[in-house]
Amino acid sequence: MRVARVAVLLSLLLAACARAEPETTVSGPPTPPDATPAALPPAGTVAPPAAKPPAAAPALDLNSLETRLRETKAIGIFTKISLKNLVDDLLDNFRDYYGGKAKLTMKDLRRSYDLLMMKVLSLLQDDDQKLASAIVSSREAIWRLLADEKKFATFKT
């Protein structure tokens, strides 16, 4: 049961929000300094539309992430139990912080979160690179979920 809870929690954290790529406009090639006015398009003409910005990363599916974490061979059963305990401790620290009971600061919580993420990534990076990549791409979105008291209050474990 504890391993399933770790998987659910990690998948929820991972799937909080996929980090969207910021939209950028693509400008045309720079005009060389020796370009003559004849080489430039006539005034009043419409430039061709810029290339579409890259699509945002697809939203992560909680159920598939939970399944992937349960089924990954990159993390052994005892390590999954250990990670579950670390996740529980981190969530308890956030609950205490938001409840005014913690001596920890948000900076301390961020440090704990970063250490947990680095541990998970180090376990996954060689044997389950796709899952590790999904974690990396959503790392800040997960933090925003945890660091926002209102979003964290709606977070069910």
* Mean pLDDT, the chain cut into blocks of 10 residues (157 residues total): 45 41 49 52 55 47 64 92 90 94 93 94 93 86 88 77
* Contact of 11 with 86, CB cutoff 8 Å: no
Question: Taking the model in full, what pTM does it have?
Answer: 0.61
What's residue 102's pLDDT? 84
Phi-psi region of 78 (alpha: psi -120 to 50; beta: other; left: phi over 0): alpha
Look at residue 83 in the predicted model and tell me its pLDDT: 87
SS3 content of the chain, % helix, strand, coil (to 5): 60, 0, 40
Task: Write the single-letter amino acid at 16.
Answer: A
- Say how far apart CA 138 and CA 143 lie, in whole Å: 9
Q: Positive or negative CA dihedral for 107, 109, 115, 117?
A: negative
Render 16-70 in DSSP notation, one character per residue: S-PPPPPP-PPP-PPPPTT--GGGSPPTTPPPPPPPPPPPPPPPPPHHHHHHHHH
pLDDT for res 136: 86
Q: What pLDDT is attached to residue 107?
A: 96
